[in-house]
Structure formats: C-alpha cells, structure tokens
Structure 1
C-alpha cells in the first residue's frame, strides 16, 4: 500500500487489516511514518502493519527497499502529490505511480487499486492531467484495476467550522449554490477502496463514488453549521472575479518570479473547486448529475460537523484547502 501517512490512506490501511489482509505500507522518505499508526482505537493496526521506507521516485530503490524481491497479490495506492502544483503532480501522480506499476508487474501483482479524483472528468489543471495520464497507463497495463474517483472529502469541507464557531460569517463563492457535492468520510471511502479487492463488480472499472444522502451546496453546509450551533445563518459572499484577478496578477508576476507562478497554480486549483461540482459529469450535456453519482457508507458531512462541534478533533487539511 502507498499513501498510508495521509488521512484516507491511514483509514484504508485499517480497512484492509480488518478484512484480513497482510499489509505492507511503503512510506516515502521524510514522511511521518508514525502517522500510519493511529491510536489504539484501530484494533490490531500497530501489530499487523509492516512499514517500509522506499523512494518511489527511484525505480531501483523502490524495488530494493519497497517490494524487496517479494511477491504481492495487490497494490492499493492512496498516494498523491501534496500540493497539486505541476512539478509535484507529474512527479508523484504520474511518474512515481508508473514506477510503482512497473515494480508491481515484476512482483506478480494481479490487481491495482488506485485512489484518483472525480475532478479529472474536467481536466483543466496539471494534477488532473497527471492523474489521467497514469489512469490510462494503468488501464493499458494488463493488470486488473479499480480506479476510485471520490467526491469531496470531509476534511476539505471542514475549514470554516472554527470560523463559524468564533462568530464569523460563513464565506461563499458567489451565492453559495455554484457547486454541489456528495461528501464522503474517510472511513466510508476506505471501506469502499478495500472492498475493490473482493467485489468483482468493481474490477476493471472507473468508479465515481460519493457519500450517503443528497448532494449539498456550500450554502447548505453553512446553514447546517449555524443550525448545529443554534445561531441564525450569516454569510459573506466572495466574487469569483476576485479569484480571477488574483490568478491574473500572480500569473503575470510569475513570469519574473517562479515562486509566484506556483502560487498562481494553487489559486487556479482554488478557483476550480469554487466553481466546479464534485459530481459525475454528463459528457452529453456537460452538466454535473447528482442522481448519476453513486453513494456509499453511512456517515454524512453533517454527522461529522456535529462530532467536531462536540469535541472531536478536526482533520489536518494540509495544502488542499480553499478556505
């Protein structure tokens, strides 16, 4: 397994263990290997999980330190670039995954389960193009594959909890109805990913997947937060044109200062998520279709909000937050 130091990867490692699999996690150098070992609430994980440090960017090191000459039945990858910036995306989402695919074929792997993203349906950004390029390589590899494309994660939609709890308004792009998603929890997504190894209906397929319930807009997310706090809703609208102006300015400055070009790409990522729904895209109409977006699991985003407001720890959101 790859990507076990992330929140989805950590949950997936636990789901695989609960299903009786022997799991070897390949951790990139300098990653926090301890992060793959959650607390005792995940039964059996500390004792049954094997962690190996392997440089996935180096095919020789990957084979020597990761696969180590052993035979494996399957690879499950939750690995992703940390920022989505072009260089990082092509190095990790594409090239490193190609290295893993080649090593997997030599190790006798029969099934490759890939955590991708639903946003690759409309690939306007470098990280989406990199993911699609590897998806195509995996499909053409001859291995059995399951490509999982989840909708929004709970952690991506948790950034305004403390803001609202502190009495500030909920920020919206436009009127808050530009986009919608069917958020999925770490646990529900992990169970779906692990189930790909056993459920033949998920073999050799691209699998969009969301959480339970109806699709929800950012405005509905804010309304739910205020209702859980027993307060009247308060919103502040941010025009999308402001993001366009920021992107334009950073792009011009980036011609002279490379670090600003990278910031421009991050701003483009933010704009994408502010204006595109995380739902199945109907290629015939060009519209997002909530009814065509499959659902799984039992935990809703509002269950998650309730838990965090009740004292549960909010997840680390890293480099992927818009707010």
Structure 2
C-alpha cells in the first residue's frame, strides 16, 4: 500500500485487441485466444472473424484442479496432475488487482515468462477512473483482459465462468489505496476473499497474495483486514497451497519529495530522521519475486518477507542520497513527531462525538505508523526491527530510482482511486 500525506513525507514509510460479448459481459483478449464457447458472439463479421481466429494460437481447456467449497458434483473424481508439472504456456494464471501499481508490473512479468495470464480489471481504472477499456487493454497488452468487479463475488464468478476454461493459480495484487476503515475491509479482506473463492470454484489450487511487511505489528485497520484474510488463506484444505508475499517499501512511495527538493526546498523528516528504516524494493523486482511464487516449490505455504538489495535506509539517508544526486548541500526540515500524536488525539476525541471523523483519525494513525515503524522484519525475540533478518532480492537500488526521477519526473507514478 502506498499513501499520500502533506509534504509527501509519510508515504516514504510505507495488434488491436478483439472484444467479445457474452451474456452482456465484456471479455477482451489482447494476445492469446481462449477456446470460444459456441454461444459466444463477436462484434466482427463471422467469416472475417473465423479467419482471424485461425491465425491465433488457441489454448486448450484445462480441467479443474480443485473443487469449490460449494461444488461437490465432482468430488469423487480423481485429482488432476499438479499444474507445476506443466510448461508455463499451459498454466492459466488469474491476476486480480491487475491495473493497480504493482499489478501492472506483475502482469507484464508473467506474460514475459510465457504464462497464460487472465487479468481482471475494472471498466474504469487509474487515477479517478480516467482509463477506459481501450487504455486498460494497452496497459495489459499480452494478457487476456476480463472486465469485472472484484467487490461483487457473483459478478467475478460469472466473468471467470465466461472464459470457458479452468484456472490454475490466482495472483492477488489487490490493496486499498488509502487504508481507511471501511475501504480496508471492503478491499483488503472482502475483495481479496472473492478472488480466492472465484479462483477455487474454477479449479485454482494455488494462491499468491501480495500483502505487506507491516502486518507483523498490526495497529491499523488495513493491517487487521489483511491478517484476517491471510489466516483464512492458511486454513484451506491440504490440496490448496499459498504463497504470502510481504514486501517492504516500494520505490514509488519514497519518491514524493524529489520534485520538492529539486525546487530548492528542504527534505522533510520526523525527529532526527532515524526513527525508522526500510529496504525498498523496485516494482520490477517485486513483480519478479511474485512470479517466482507461481512455480517454485520452496515458496509454497510460506510467508515471504522481501526487501530490495543493499542496506536498510533511514529517511535521513534517503534524503542524503537525493541531495548527493542533485549535487547540493543537504537541507532538512525536522518535524517533531509529537505533533502527529497531538493531532491524532484531537481527532480521536472528536470521533467519539462525530463518528464520521474516525476515518480521518485512522489516516493520522497510518501516517504516524509509517513515520516511526521500520519496514523490516520484527525480531520476535528482541522485539526490535532487524535489517539482517530482512531478505534482499533483485538488483534495482533506490539511488538508481532517484536518478531516474530527477531526470524524468514522477509521471506515470500516480495511483488510482483504489489499488485494484
């Protein structure tokens, strides 16, 4: 999850596709072509469309690999071979949250590795829903795009049903953008659970969940919502496996002050800038790690914290890197964290009289959390955050990212209304 707060400070701690219509549900395909049910109608003349379909390699239907909790009609049949025995081009991966910031990178990585990717997307995505279907198809090129609503289980199940084939793996990159109370339970818990149920109903036997490393110390509502789903995912029957990925901070969430510092303003941090630290990981490296979880057996049924390469960086060190790239003397603005404690206390008090203020109080608590808590492994023996215990992965560094943003700006780094 990435967050935006005043000064953009708190966030740092933390081929044209064809479209087919069936039963008024839009299904779009931009690279592969699934076997089409006989009732599926196209928007193109039949003879022309038939010729085009013969030019596209078709996927063979894959039988269900698991049984839905609500489906016992085939419970006596023998189980299908594990999808892990198949080559990637015969494995169907359903990605939910595909238009979110990390989801787009995950879709791209899975497509690059040759998987048959079904990307579930909203009809309107991006910042304030500015992206229409055509733009979404461009962003998710190479995947098979299925427009649906992950917050509506029936809608999602019907959309997956319309594909006419089984699902092997579900990869969930769903996350609420702002971490508000209502939003957290609607998105981080309910929508994610919907993707699990829909995937299992259509054969999935493995679930890769993008979670967050901060859930190890749950003081916030979105963390509780994520943990509730994690616990339910771990309690699936023995034929169903999972991989829970808990990344540290994303590069994007640490870039909010680049433009401010470029304009000559100071780098803002809380306290002495050493209250917390993180091992940030790039979006590409994180997407690669998530893709590894689809087939690597050593990542089955495990909680997998992951950070980027190099040492853990405090806000002070992040600022020093930025000033060094800009060739300027460091100039910091140190804000007492007690200011946030005071504001949160006021909001909590007001919320007792006006419940609607509870959301604002929660946002304040999120900011406070990211300002003081490290995005590292929490050592259960010492109760301290441990840089050494936090795994490193990938090759991209924060310094490389800062250099790129200094040259090119933050264009394209915006978040949508929701992270799914």
TM-score range, shorter-chain basis? over 0.9
Q: Distance in 2 between matches of 1:319 and 1:95?
A: 17
Question: How has the CA–CA distance of structure 1 residues 166 and 37 changed in structure 2, closer, same or farther, with 3 Å as cutoff?
Answer: farther
**Bigger Rg, which one:** 2
1:86 equivalent in alignment to 2:181: yes
Q: Distance in 1 between matches of 2:399 and 2:136?
A: 26
1:13 aligned to which of 72, 86, 107:
107
**1:169-188 pair list within 5 angstroms:** 169-188=266-285
1:101 aligned to which of 192, 196, 206:
196
Q: Which runs of 5+ in 1 are unaligned?
A: 40-44
- 1:2: which partner in 2? 96
How many residues of Structure 1 are paired with residues of Structure 2 in the alignment? 314
- 2:414: which partner in 1? 316
Provide TM-score, normalisation by structure 1: 0.93
1:312 Cα offset (Å): 4.8
**1:1-323 pair list within 5 angstroms:** 1-31=95-125, 32=131, 33=133, 36-37=136-137, 46=141, 48-68=142-162, 70-142=165-237, 143-314=240-411, 315-317=413-415
Q: Which runs of 5+ in 2 are unaligned?
A: 1-94, 126-130
Question: How has the CA–CA distance of structure 1 residues 311 and 146 changed in structure 2, closer, same or farther, with 3 Å as cutoff?
Answer: same
Is the contact between residue 208 and residue 243 of structure 2 (CA under 8 Å) also seen in structure 1? yes
Question: How has the CA–CA distance of structure 1 residues 35 and 275 changed in structure 2, closer, same or farther, with 3 Å as cutoff?
Answer: farther
1:203 Cα offset (Å): 1.1
- 1:42: which partner in 2? none
Give the superposed CA RMSD. Answer: 1.8
1:50 Cα offset (Å): 1.6
Matched position secondary structure for 1:197: helix
Matched position secondary structure for 2:276: coil
CA distances 1:200-243 after superposition (whole Å, capped 9, x unpaired): 11111100000010101000000011111110001011111100
Question: How has the CA–CA distance of structure 1 residues 52 and 86 changed in structure 2, closer, same or farther, with 3 Å as cutoff?
Answer: same
Question: How has the CA–CA distance of structure 1 residues 149 and 298 changed in structure 2, closer, same or farther, with 3 Å as cutoff?
Answer: same
Q: Distance in 2 between matches of 1:220 and 1:135?
A: 33
1:100 Cα offset (Å): 1.6
Matched position secondary structure for 2:236: coil
Q: Distance in 1 between matches of 2:395 and 2:160?
A: 35
1:258 Cα offset (Å): 4.0
- Deviating above 6 A after TM superposition, structure 1's stretches of 4 or more consecutive aligned residues are none
Higher relative contact order (CA 8 A, sep 6+): 2
Question: How has the CA–CA distance of structure 1 residues 88 and 223 changed in structure 2, closer, same or farther, with 3 Å as cutoff?
Answer: same
More helix, by proportion: 1
Matched position secondary structure for 1:132: helix
